[in-house]
Amino acid sequence: MSRLCFDYGHGGEDPGATYNDRRESDDVVSLGKEVAEEVRRHGITVDETRTSDDTVSLNDRSNFENGNTYDYFISFHRNAYEPEKARGVETYTYLNPGEKSRELAESIQASLVILGFVDRGVKEANYHVLRETKASAVLIEIGFIDNTEDNDLFDVKRNEIIKGLAKAILAQVGIDYVETSAPTQAESGQTLYRVMAGSYSVRENAENQVQKLKDVGFDACIMIFNK
């Protein structure tokens, strides 16, 4: 069974990027722990470099990862530039990444872009936690903490972000995402609503959207409606 290492950036004396009363260190540990729980629900082992507001050095993070054998190392972060001047998500690999790192980065990036974040692409960088870890490694920048629109997406679509990241990670280790069991309409007396991801007059455009959804692990199909 696969074993993963999740790394939540900054913490303790290092809050990371901040904006108003918001701290990167808080956002990533809170979100990342929920992604970890979703992945664990599918039988995958997930170890974490921190689980609370602790100071953890870069060396401590890479040493933690190097102390075990992992299939993937995934570092969670949020970006910052100048207030309200930049937005979007980007996912990093080390320089000249292996195929596994690149595939995971592309899948993670797609899972966030489809939720409405601006696509800043998959990039390469000489970051310590990418360079000094043994496992295939990626670093995620989940929107700009100094951008109101990105913060709104981060908050409003939190559950979708957690699910999308879990699906992308699980797909990379060959595990199909399983929805949590929910009562049927007859059992609960509730009406359920299906969500559409767009309507297109050109079938090719519809097929392209379906493929994008499938690539990040979402069930999708084309339904034909005649006006």
Q: How far is CA 81 from the centre of its chain?
A: 20
Instruction: Assess whether 78 and 151 both reside in one domain.
Output: yes
Residue 120 sits in a domain whose CATH number is: 3.40.630.40
Instruction: Assess whether 65 and 85 both reside in one domain.
Output: yes
Tens of pLDDT, residues 189-224? 665 556 666 676 777 777 777 677 777 767 777 666
Instruction: Assess whether 155 and 65 both reside in one domain.
Output: yes
| Cβ atoms of 48 and 34 closer than 8 Å | no
Number of domains in the chain: 2
Instruction: Please check whether residue 177 lies inside any domain of the structure.
Output: no
Instruction: Please check whether residue 161 lies inside any domain of the structure.
Output: yes
Report how far residue 102's alpha carbon sits from residue 25's, in angstroms, rounded to the nearest whole number: 25
Q: Is the pLDDT of residue 185 over 90?
A: no
Tens of pLDDT, residues 31-67? 999 999 999 999 999 999 999 999 999 999 999 999 9
Instruction: Assess whether 125 and 188 both reside in one domain.
Output: no
Full domain range(s) for residue 11 = 3-172
